[in-house]
């Protein structure tokens, strides 16, 4: 049965036991009525893509009544000595209708293997009509020079496809852009490319070029193009003063849909049915979000990380738990030490953590889902 508490109008919090073949675990569930007056959800993130913060601090700085951690992210770089992690998330991200980033290549992901038929471009989003849905967001971008147009394969991403060019905007932050040229299309741990080039574009013309991707905040009104291998060769043809225009957008797979919020992860439940081939062996502490009521309700779910419950759920079990909670579609987010769910308690002005994180305290994460509501 569990215990249910009101967080705000249209938002409730419940925690309850869940039986598994390995024993009892414990779930934390925030139910969000997107049709309730004043209720909405949005992306929690530390103002730029390449940064991290705790869920509770993100929720409280944004004025959210509840929040949960989000996408998997570039948490470490042990395989690339001297290269700093960017802390940037894996998948696409949209905040307040603005595209912040696109998805990294499949083999450059952090997190478990993707289920069959899913993609790094998969997102859970809420469109401009207030409806939640699962979708894919594909990067459509290019830069044009007097010699022609070149396709972009990245937007504020910590990893680029071999031979490609990616764009970095002020939304990226100040983390080094060098990581984008490391790894390969088949291995995240492959060496960094020795053939790179970077070009800064402002006001429709090149203002700076260098062979080594840099760091530091990209100035407002500036786009930095980073290339590796063939992409680096394309950029080397440009000189300061050359005319260059850059465009980029994220395109949904559903026509005529615009998102005010979207976050990366991967689907585990569609139309009330778990995806075929979901993992049934590896159990862990997990975070997920479900869609119910034809897209008018969101279910934010987190497994407790206390020692007594740490055996957690398999991905297949997670899909069933979301379905049992009323979800029609389900979406897996980052888990383990990242799993954090926070809400405001009755009479409180700030959100506090409700689950027990496995690290004993909150881990700083790249982003999350925030719930906003009138009191």
Q: CA angle 30-33-38, nearest 5°?
A: 110
Contacting residues for 129 by C-beta, under 8 A, at least 6 apart: none
Helix ranges (H only) for 126-268 are 230-236
Element housing 118 (H / E): none
* Contact yes or no for 263/43 (Cβ under 8 A): yes
Residue 346: what pLDDT?
Answer: 81
Q: Report the chain (375 residues): mean pLDDT per 10 consecutive residues.
A: 90 96 96 97 98 98 98 96 97 98 98 95 97 98 96 98 98 98 98 98 98 96 98 97 98 92 98 96 97 98 94 96 98 98 92 96 98 89
Residue 39: what pLDDT?
Answer: 98
Residue 102: what pLDDT?
Answer: 98
Euclidean distance between CA atoms 320 and 324, whole angstroms: 6
Euclidean distance between CA atoms 274 and 323, whole angstroms: 8
Structure confidence by residue, pLDDT tens digits, 14-33: 999 999 999 999 999 999 99
- Report which of 179, 172, 165 is spatially closest to residue 218, judged by C-alpha positions: 172
Q: Computed over its alpha carbons, how large is the radius of gyration of the chain?
A: 21
Residue 1: what pLDDT?
Answer: 64
Residue 255: what pLDDT?
Answer: 80
Q: Which residues pair with 53 in a beta bridge?
A: 365
């Amino acid at each position: 049965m569990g215990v249910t508490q009101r967080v705000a109008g249209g938002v409730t919090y419940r925690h309850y036991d869940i039986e598994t073949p390995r024993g009892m675990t414990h779930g934390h569930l925030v139910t969000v009525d997107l049709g309730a007056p004043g209720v909405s959800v949005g992306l929690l993130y530390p103002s730029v893509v390449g940064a991290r913060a705790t869920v509770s601090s993100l929720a409280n700085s944004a004025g959210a009544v509840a929040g949960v951690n989000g996408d998997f992210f570039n948490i470490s770089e042990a395989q690339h000595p001297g290269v700093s992690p960017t802390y940037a998330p894996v998948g696409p991200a949209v905040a307040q209708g603005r595209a912040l980033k696109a998805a990294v290549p499949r083999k450059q992901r952090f997190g478990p293997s993707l289920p069959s038929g899913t993609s790094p471009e998969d997102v859970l989003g809420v469109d401009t009509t207030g409806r939640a849905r699962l979708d894919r967001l594909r990067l459509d971008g290019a830069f044009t020079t007097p010699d022609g147009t070149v396709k972009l394969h990245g937007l504020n991403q910590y990893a680029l496809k071999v031979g490609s060019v990616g764009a970095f905007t002020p939304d990226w932050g100040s983390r080094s852009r060098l990581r984008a040229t490391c790894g390969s299309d088949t291995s995240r741990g492959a060496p960094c490319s020795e053939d790179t080039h970077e070009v800064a574009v402002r006001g429709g013309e090149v203002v700076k070029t260098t062979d080594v991707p840099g760091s530091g905040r990209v100035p407002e009104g500036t786009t930095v193009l980073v290339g590796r291998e063939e992409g680096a060769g394309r950029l080397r043809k440009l000189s300061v003063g050359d005319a260059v225009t850059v465009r980029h957008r994220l395109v949904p797979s559903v026509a005529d849909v615009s998102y005010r919020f979207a976050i990366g992860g991967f689907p585990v439940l569609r139309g009330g049915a778990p995806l075929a081939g979901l993992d049934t062996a590896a159990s862990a502490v997990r975070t997920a979000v479900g869609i119910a009521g034809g897209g008018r309700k969101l279910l934010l779910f987190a497994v407790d990380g206390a020692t007594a419950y740490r055996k957690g759920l398999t991905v297949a079990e997670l899909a069933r738990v979301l379905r049992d909670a009323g979800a029609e579609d389900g979406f897996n987010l980052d888990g383990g030490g990242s799993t954090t769910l926070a809400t405001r308690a009755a009479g409180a002005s700030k959100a506090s953590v409700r689950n027990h994180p496995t690290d004993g305290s909150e881990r700083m994460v790249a982003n999350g889902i925030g719930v906003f509501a009138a009191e």
